[in-house]
Amino acid sequence: MHNKILKTIIFTALLLGAGLSARAQKDTLDKPSRLTIGGYGEAVYNYNFYSDNVFRYSHADRYTESKGHGRVDLPHAVITLGYDMGRGWSVGTEVEFEHGGTEVAVEKETEETGEFEQEVERGGEVALEQFWVQKSFNRHLNLRMGHIVVPVGMTNNNHTPDHFFSVYRPEGENTIMPCTWHETGVSLWGRAGAWRYEVQVLPALNSNLFTESGWVHNGSASPYEFRPANSLAGAARVDYMGIRNLRLSLSGYVGNSFNNDITTAVYSETSRYRDALGTVLIGAFDFDYRNAWLVVRGNCDYGYLGDAGLISTRNKNQTTMTGNPYPHTAVGKGAYDYSLEAGVDLQAWTCWRHGVKHLYLFGRYDRYDSFIPATGFDDIGWTERQVLSAGINYYPLKHIAIKAEAGVRQLNGNYNDEPFVALGITWVNFNFAH
C-alpha cells in the first residue's frame, strides 16, 4: 500500500516537473535573445559600354568608339554583432569587407630560386564600421559612444541594399560625401511621438583628402593608425513619421577641415593660410513613401566649403615624395546632388496574401556635381552628371533580392555618354539570433 502511494507521488512529481520544464523552455524560446547576429551583402556583375581609359575625359574625342568592359564585384559584405548587457547598457559592432576585402601574402617563389615575395592577390578594404557602447535611459534619450555611423543624407542613414533599387548605392551621395560615413564620437538620440532625433560630436573632415571628382568623399579617411582630430564637428538628423506611410528627414553637418592633419601645421602658421578654416557645411533633405504596391524615395543635398581656393592651391602643391598618401587636385567650393526613384510592386496582390514576394519595376533619376569651382579655378564639365536608369528588384524571400538595372550616365559638355547594365544579388538580415 505504501509502495503504491510512493509510486503515485513520484509519478505525479515527474509529470509536474516535465510540465514546468516544458513551460520554462517555451518561455526561454519566446524571450528575445540578448545576442543579435546579422549582416548584409551584395554580389554584382556589370558591363559598361564605354572606355575605362584614364584619359577618357581629358581626350574624350579619342574614345567615342571604344569597346566596353565588364566587372564583377563584392561591394559590401557586412557582419554585425550586438548584445544587450542589461540595465539599459548595450554594445554593437559592424565589420565591413568592401570589394572582397584584401588578400596579401608572403610567398616563396620556386621559379625565382626560392626568393620570398609579398604579393597583393586581391584588392579591397576591411573596415570596422561600428563599435559602440550605448546607455538607454528611456525611449526619449539614449547615449551612444564609440565608432558610429554619421546619419547625414539619405544613403548614410539607410545604406543597406533593401533601401535603394539600384544595383550599386545611389551614385550622387556616394560621390560627394563619405559613404558609409563612420567616425569615432558621441551621439545623443531618441524618439518623441512621431519624431526621431540624433545629435553627434565627432572629428572634423580632413581637407588634405578632398578632390575635384569626389568633393569631401575621402575626407573622413586617415592614412595613419589614428584619426587626426585637431578640430571637432557636429552632425544632426531629425525624422518625422507622423504621416501614414511617409518619412520626412532633415540632416546636416558643420566642421572646420583645414589643419586637421599632421602635415598642415606649418601652413596654418604662414600669413597666407593663418586664417584658413576650411569650414564644411552640408544640408540634406530626404523622404521615403511606401504602401502595399508603391515605393517612392528622393533626396536633395547641398554642400559648401569655405576657403576652397586656398585649400585647392595647398593641395595641388602637396609634396610628391614617394609614399605621399594625398591627392593633388583642386576641390570645389560647393557640391550638390538630388535624386528620385520610384518602384511599383507587380506582385502586390501576392505580397498582400503571403507577405514574402515582391517584384518591383523601378525608374531612377540622379543629378549631381562634385566640383563647383572657387574663384580663379576653371570649371570641369565631366563632374556634372545626370544618371537615368530602370530595372527590377525581385524578392523570392523577405531577406533576399535579385536586382537588374540598365541606364546611362550623361556628362555635361562634350563628353561621351556612359551606358551600363548591372546584375546583383543581395541579402539583409539583422535577426539571425531570434
- pLDDT reading at 17 higher than 60: no
- Grid cell of 317 as nine digits: 602643391
- Higher-confidence residue of 77 and 433: namely 77
Amino acid at residue number 101: G
- Higher-confidence residue of 409 and 274: namely 409
206: closest CA among 242, 248, 260, 128? 260
Half-sphere exposure of 233 (CA within 13 A, CB side): 29
pLDDT band of 299, cuts 50, 70, 90: very high
Residue 364's φ and ψ, nearest 5 degrees, are -145, 140
- pLDDT reading at 401 higher than 70: yes
**Residue 155: its pLDDT value, please?**
96
Measure the CA–CA gap between 254 and 284, rounded to whole angstroms.
12
pLDDT band of 88, cuts 50, 70, 90: very high
- pLDDT reading at 255 higher than 80: yes
Least confident of 24-33, 106-115, 335-344: 24-33
Give mean pLDDT, residues 317-329. 75
- pLDDT reading at 311 higher than 80: yes
DSSP one-letter code for 111: G
Measure the CA–CA gap between 342 and 390, rounded to whole angstroms.
10
* Per-residue burial over 339-349, b = 16 or more CB atoms within 10 Å of its CB, e = otherwise: bebbbebebbe
H or E stretch at 90: strand 89-98
**Residue 24: its pLDDT value, please?**
43
**Residue 67: its pLDDT value, please?**
87
- Higher-confidence residue of 3 and 372: namely 372
- pLDDT reading at 89 higher than 90: yes
Give mean pLDDT, residues 305-325. 82
- pLDDT reading at 2 higher than 60: no
For the CA atoms of 9, 15, 21, 23, the dihedral, rounded to the nearest 10 degrees, stands at -120
Query: Average pLDDT of the chain?
Result: 87
310: closest CA among 396, 375, 372, 361? 375
DSSP bridge partners of 380: none
pLDDT above 90 as % of the chain: 66
**Predicted confidence (pLDDT) per residue in 163-195, tens digit:** 999 999 999 999 999 999 999 999 999 999 999
- Topology of 36-429 in CATH? Porin (2.40.160)
H or E stretch at 313: helix 308-316
**Predicted confidence (pLDDT) per residue in 324-362, tens digit:** 778 889 999 999 999 999 999 998 866 555 556 899 999
**Predicted confidence (pLDDT) per residue in 193-239, tens digit:** 999 999 999 999 999 999 999 999 999 998 888 999 999 999 999 99
- pLDDT reading at 387 higher than 80: yes
CB 157 within 8 A of CB 173: no
Question: Which residue shows C-alpha cell 540622379?
Answer: 366
pTM of the complete model = 0.88
**Residue 73: its pLDDT value, please?**
94
Q: What is the domain partition of the chain in residue ranges? A: 36-429
**Residue 28: its pLDDT value, please?**
42
- Higher-confidence residue of 353 and 82: namely 82
